[in-house]
Amino acid sequence: IKQDNVRNFSIIAHIDHGKSTLADRILERTKALTQREMKEQFLDAMDLERERGITIKLNAVQLRYGAANGEDYLFHLIDTPGHVDFTYEVSRSLAACDGVLLVVDAAQGIEAQTLANLYLALDNDLEIIPVINKIDLPAADPERVTKELEDLLGVTKDEVIHASGKSGIGIDDILEAIVERVPAPEGEPEDPLKALIFDSLYDPYRGVIASISIKEGTVRVGQRIRMMQTEKEFEVTEIGVFNPKPTPKDSLTVGDVGYLTASIKNVSDSRVGDTITSAERPASEPLPGYKKMNPMVFCGIFPVDASNYNDLREALERLELNDSSLQYEAETSQALGFGFRCGFLGLLHMEIIQERIEREFGIDLITTAPSVIYEVELTDGETITVDNPSMMPDTQSVSEVREPFVKATIMVPNDYVGSVMEICQAKRGAFQDMQYLDDNRVNITYEIPLSEIVYDFFDQLKSQTKGYASFDYDLVGYRASNLVKMDILLNNDTIDALSFIVHRDFAYERGKAIANKLKDLIPRQQFEVPVQAAIGNKIVARSTIKAMRKNVLSKCYGGDISRKRKLLEKQKEGKKRMKMVGSVEVPQEAFMAVLEMD
């Protein structure tokens, strides 16, 4: 198939607007999968993704389509990850395309992620095909959504496709629109090689498997290649396409989207966004836009059972191979023992990694509350960075603490503007702008400290707006804030893993709230346990966990042995996530308590 008949595209949408379902319909219609092979949501490969309904790993599928004009076309459908934490990866995967389907739910209309993704597509100069999905829903209002799209994109209503991934309406219109409107890839097969790496995955047998989009030139098996960013060189061992199974080829040329292996032992040697060129005849310049992603959120991860420490290290090593934005280093906590301080792109990234460690490696974890990175200027003039609250120096030796701020964009129906502003204000937000998108919907922007976003902002937003608000954020920089470290004492011992950083104006209130919360979360022990919140030497709040009255076993005093064993087992189950901290047994929830304060 000639280059003129190649179409590279992607589907972008707000979460739940039906991207995966539409992708399945397209795969089905182009017969990429037989009915038997057809698993729902084929592109969301990992179980975890499927359960959470999110897409983390990028994927590209090659499809053949016989168009109405009688010609055969070669499509590459490139899947993008769907969450703010993965914005950079979305941008790279879009750079592999020439056009996008912008999918909008017919009942929900345009939402924050619709816009965020649209801007990324516009940054990459892509052709945009607007699709209103779920028109089968009783609550669908395609006229209103068409109007929104007309205003946003400057298109006419004939250009907006009405579809339903569920019932199959509009799928043919979409396929024809891809043929008609998405431009064929440009570039010369004979020019020096430029291949964009838009995903990178580690396989224990073959090394790194890079997903690539060929922008210039041709790549062949056996060829010597160079990564333009890292300047590392390798010899190509295999190249191929996914159709949708991996299918080896001798060469890939301009317009092709597929995979490449070259005995690369480390994902950091083939970074997403880097350009692959030929070592013999290198291109003079890489493709635009390589950017290294830095973690924004940190937390401590400790095994519940100290003997799992090495397993945990191995789990992190394995996960890092597939995820170069995951960072970790050994950490020792007086309270929790040996573990790791880990850095993540955002909260979702953090949750996913924790869940994978527990699920795929079978290690029970205690995780500490997430923290951002603080810049701390000391009185002696030195500036240090602190990503672990327990490492915050004493107030006397600190002259200024700066924290990261984000620009938060929140989209809500009119009725909730008041509630949203209240939440933002309570989270130390500074109002920036408010824009009416139409008669009913408003876009509100605030600058808010990232640490406040980390502390249950999203949950509050969702509950106060009955789930209607959608939200996105971008880092804007570091600002000075009046912050102090709050220590927590259990039974008169400071528990380092419970320390947190708080704005001085909220310190008293938060100290009180957390002392009360811990009193409820930590089960009664054999003795009375005082809980105290302190700033420096000053106790700002206290509560008491009363001593336990009854032993579990006393209930079956004299009872039969099997009942006794059952009770003990039950108790053990309940203890799974408990950790002895000094003389006190503390459950996992206690380390997260600070996240659930108002």
Residues that bind Mg ion (CB under 5 A): 20, 55
> ∠396-397-402 over CA atoms, to 5°?
105
Q: For the residues of 1-52, what is the DSSP string, one character each?
A: --GGGEEEEEEEESTTSSHHHHHHHHHHHTTSS-TTT--TTTT--SHHHHHH
- Considering beta carbons, is residue 177 or 593 the nearer one to ligand GDP? 177
Nearer to Mg ion among residue 55 and residue 223 (C-beta): 55
Name which of ligand GDP, Mg ion, none residue 21 binds, using a CB cut-off of 5 to 8 Å depending on partner kind: ligand GDP
266 is in an annotated binding site: no
| CA-atom Rg of the chain in angstroms | 27
- The neighbour count for residue 196, using CB atoms within 10 Å, is 25
Q: How far is the CB of 115 from ligand GDP (least distance, A)?
A: 15
Q: Residue 201 is encoded by which pair of tokens? A: 């995955």
d(CA 499, CA 80): 38
Candidates 47, 53, 119, 430: give the one binding ligand GDP (CB under 6 A).
53
Q: Identify the three-state secondary structure at position 345.
A: coil
> Using CB distances below 5 to 8 A depending on partner kind, what does residue 81 bind out of Mg ion, ligand GDP, none?
none
- What is the smallest separation between the CB atom of 63 and ligand GDP, expressed in angstroms? 18
- 166 binds ligand GDP per the rule CB under 6 A: yes
Q: Is 488 annotated as a binding residue?
A: no
Q: How many residues at the interface with ligand GDP, by CB under 6 A? A: 16
Nearer to ligand GDP, 117 or 388 (CB): 117
Position among 10, 80, 124, 133 found at the interface with ligand GDP (CB under 6 A): 133
Between 134 and 441, name the residue whose CB sits nearer to ligand GDP.
134
Q: Of the candidates 3, 5, 15, 434, which one interacts with ligand GDP according to CB under 6 A?
A: 15
* Residue 55 or 278 having the CB closest to ligand GDP: 55
Residue 14 identity = H
Burial class (CB in 10 A: 0-12, 13-18, 19+), 563: exposed
Consult the annotation and say whether 16 binds a ligand.
yes
3-class secondary structure, 158 = helix
Residue span binding ligand GDP (CB under 6 A) among the ranges 15-23, 462-470, 490-498, 552-560: 15-23
Judged by beta carbon, residue 132 or residue 178, the one nearer ligand GDP is 132
Q: How many CB atoms lie within 10 A of CB 439?
A: 7
225 is in an annotated binding site: no
Q: Does residue 48 interact with ligand GDP by CB under 6 A?
A: no
The residue to which tokens 């209002």 are assigned:
141
Q: Report the alpha-carbon distance of residue 449 to residue 176 in Å, rounded.
A: 46
Residue 136 is labelled as binding a ligand: yes
Q: Buried (b) or exposed (e) across 532-554, using 16+ Cβ within 10 A?
A: bbbbeeeebbbbebeeeeeeeee
Question: According to the annotation, is 250 in a ligand binding site?
Answer: no
Decide: 324 and 271 in contact? Cβ < 8 Å.
yes
- Of the candidates 151, 105, 95, the one whose C-alpha atom is nearest the C-alpha of residue 131 is 105
| Among positions 8, 9, 12, 21, the unique one binding ligand GDP when judged by CB under 6 A | 21
Site for ligand GDP in 134-163 (CB under 6 A): 134, 136-137
Q: Which does 13 bind (CB under 5 to 8 A by kind): ligand GDP, Mg ion, none?
A: ligand GDP
- Of 6, 7, 12, 13, the one binding ligand GDP by CB under 6 A: 13
* Residue 388 amino acid letter: N
Task: Pinpoint the alpha helices (H) of 446-491.
Answer: 450-454, 457-464
- Residues making up the binding site for GTP: 16-21, 133-136
> Which residues contribute to the site for ligand GDP (CB under 6 A)?
13, 15-21, 53, 133-134, 136-137, 164-166
Annotation: binding site: 16-21, 133-136
